[in-house]
Chain A
Amino acid sequence: MEQFTFPVEAGHILLFARSVGDPNPIYHDEEQAGKSEVGGIIAPPTFVQAASQYDPDYHLRPRIGEPWFGSGRTPSGVSEPASGGGRLHAEQHFEYFRPLRPGDVLTVTSTPGKTWEKTGRRGGKLVFEEHVTEYRDAAGELVVRARGVGVRPEKPVEQEAN
């Protein structure tokens, strides 16, 4: 089980909403959001995914002073990049118990779930791995529960991540 703290900040919500192309003022305009049914700024439905910014062990963020698998002088900074480019996302599910708001400090707990294998349409083996992540507020109340399924193909996939 992995656990870390995710502080929900207004600036981060603004940047995230922009990045998913959503101009809804509920994500950035305190005045308009204050007059709405939810009474203030909230985060977009998939925002908890950005908690990875605060995950100390997140493997898809370069670490200062360590080799990174993206390109620099060579196409990859590591001698043996993962075949097929590593893990891809197969499914994502969220359950919402209340909206996230700036000022929330969430405790993020992730536990591994099932794993299973399938043969892809082009014959490669696909290994699926599930993770369940809970986001709880300072009072210990569950705010969001997420279930993600990742797939690790043996070779580059083309439309066969399922």
Chain B
Amino acid sequence: MALRSAEIAVGEVHEQVLVDDLTRTQIVQYAGASGDYNPLHTDDVYAREAAGYPGVFSHGMLVMGLTARAVTDWVGDGRLTRYGVRFKSQVWPGDRLTARVTVAGLRDDDGVGLVDLDVVTLNERGEEVIAGYATARVD
């Protein structure tokens, strides 16, 4: 069920809620699975008292991982050729995150059809927490 280029329109937008209420437990799950045990993300005492933050906050890579779902749910599995983001704002427990994937263009690379996507994820205040791009093969 891969995407077909004929069915894609430049400017088309797909929005997907990634998480309604980001929990500290999910951040802990990501720490365990990824191996990034930076206590800034999982240890509230450290984050507040040693590092000077209001509390723990998400790994940027958790947000990038959550956002990937919005891309792959739409373009299909194993079709990405590139995916990149800048981390723009911190993501905190309780945040609601929505990904917005916009078709930036369609092109042909040596007979391989590609779709270029702009990818942003917004928090409940409408702030971009990550912004980047993805490219996927299309039929």
Contact = CB atoms under 8 A, between A and B. Distances in A.
Contact of B34 (A16, A26, A62, A98): A16
Interface stretch (A45-53, A103-111, A119-127, A133-141): A45-53
Contact of A155 (B34, B52, B80): B52
Interface stretch (B5-13, B61-69, B108-116): B61-69
B84 A92 contact: yes
Interface string A2-44: 0000000000100110111110101000000000111000101
Given A46-B61, A53-B35, A156-B51, A94 B83 contact: yes
Contact residues of A: prevailing secondary structure:
loop
Contacts of B49: 71, 75-76
Tell me which of A19, A81, A155, A162 has the highest count of chain B C-beta atoms within 10 A of its own C-beta: A19
A93 B64 CA distance: 10
Contact of B65 (A15, A19, A37): A19
B78 A99 contact: yes
Chain B, interface residues (CB within 8 Å), range:
35 or more
B67 to A, nearest CB: 9
A50 B7 CA distance: 35
Tell me which of A22, A62, A84 has the highest count of chain B C-beta atoms within 10 A of its own C-beta: A22
Contact of B52 (A85, A89, A161): A85
Contacts, number: 174
B14 interface: no
A45 B68 contact: yes
Interface in B59-105: 59-62, 64-66, 68-69, 71-73, 76-78, 80-90
Interface of A: 12, 15-16, 18-22, 24, 26, 36-38, 42, 44-46, 49-50, 52-53, 58, 60-62, 68-71, 75-76, 81-82, 84-86, 88-96, 98-99, 147, 155-159, 161-162
28 contacts: A15-B32, A19-B26, A19-B65, A21-B69, A22-B69, A24-B73, A24-B77, A26-B77, A42-B77, A44-B65, A45-B65, A46-B61, A46-B65, A62-B37, A71-B49, A81-B51, A86-B51, A88-B60, A89-B60, A91-B84, A92-B60, A92-B84, A95-B81, A147-B84, A156-B53, A158-B90, A161-B87, A162-B87
